[in-house]
Every structure is written in C-alpha cells, then in structure tokens.
Structure 1
Amino acid sequence: MPITPDYIRIADEIVADVRAGKLKPGEKLPSITQLAAKYNVSPSTVKQVYVRLEALRVIWRHQGKGIFVNDPRLWMREP
C-alpha cells in the first residue's frame, strides 16, 4: 500500500477542517514555522502544503500579513 506524502496528508487535513467548519473563511493560518512544529515536519514540507492549498484555491496569501482561508464557495464543489 502506498504511503501518502506528508504534504498531501496535511493539506487534506486542512481541507477537511475547512469543510467541517473548523476553519472559517478569512481565518489566518499558522506560520510555516508553527505548522511545521505542530506536525513535526520540515518547513519545506509546510511550504509544499501551502503551495498545494493555494493551487486548489483553498487559501490565499497576503504579503506581510499571512495566509488565510479562502471562501469555500470559490473552490468547493457540490457533492
């Protein structure tokens, strides 16, 4: 059975938290350093997480301010 890379597993967990309402639109996400410590992974892994989530339009970055949850209506499809 293939092992899911950490960056995909963490990104999927964040998406699940947004879908479940644990993370709200506009909510600021932890810094790269904070998220790396939380999941016990390297900062480069967290950078991959955020690149993936940004590509999926789950998050958006505001230079100098942080990384924020995007409105799910912009990226979430109806089941």
Structure 2
Amino acid sequence: MPAMPDYLRISTRIMEAVRSGKLKPGDKLPSIAQLCEQHKVGPSTIQQVFIRLEALEVIDRYQGKGVFVTDPDTWMRKP
C-alpha cells in the first residue's frame, strides 16, 4: 500500500487535533516555517495543507495575521 502523501498526513493530524479539542476555534496555527521544521517538509507541502484545510473550512487564512482554526461545527459531520 502506498504511503499517504505528506500534505494529507499533516492536514489529517491538524483536523484530528481540532476534533479532539487540542486545537480550539480561533487558535492560531504555527507559521509555515515552524510547521516545515516540525514535520520535516518543505514550504510547498505546508501550502498544500493550508489549501486543503481552507477548502474543507477547517481554517481561515488572513494575510499578515496568520492561519486560524474555524468552528468545527461548520465542517465536522455530527453523528
């Protein structure tokens, strides 16, 4: 079985952190440089992570301010 691409692995981890409450609505995510260092990937991979999470409405990005977690009720399916 092929390994999961880095951008999917990282975005899944962030989504799980939101679901578990480790990351809360309004929390600011680390910078691209910090996430690159933490996950041992390049900036383009983190950009892919942000594009995916923004499309799924997990995060909001604001130029000059950062990347913030949205309310999980807007994107998480309820049982």
- Shorter-chain TM-score bucket reads over 0.9
Partner of 2:2: 2
Q: Following the alignment from structure 2 to structure 1, what is the Cα–Cα distance between the partners of residues 65 and 45?
A: 21
TM-score, scaled to structure 1: 0.97
**Secondary structure in structure 2 of the residue aligned to 1:78:** coil
Partner of 1:59: 59
Q: Any unmatched runs of 5+ in structure 1? A: none
Give, in angstroms, the shift of residue 2 of structure 1.
1.7
Instruction: Tell me whether 1:49 sits opposite 2:55 in the alignment.
Output: no
Q: Following the alignment from structure 1 to structure 2, what is the Cα–Cα distance between the partners of residues 38 and 63?
A: 22
Alpha-carbon RMSD across the aligned residues, in angstroms, is 0.6
Q: Any unmatched runs of 5+ in structure 2? A: none
**Count of equivalent residues:** 79
Aligned pairs for 1:1-79 within 5 A: 1-79=1-79
Runs of 4+ in 1 over 6 A off after TM superposition: none
Q: Following the alignment from structure 1 to structure 2, what is the Cα–Cα distance between the partners of residues 37 and 17?
A: 18
TM-score, scaled to structure 2: 0.97
Over the matched positions of the two proteins, sequence identity in percent amounts to 62
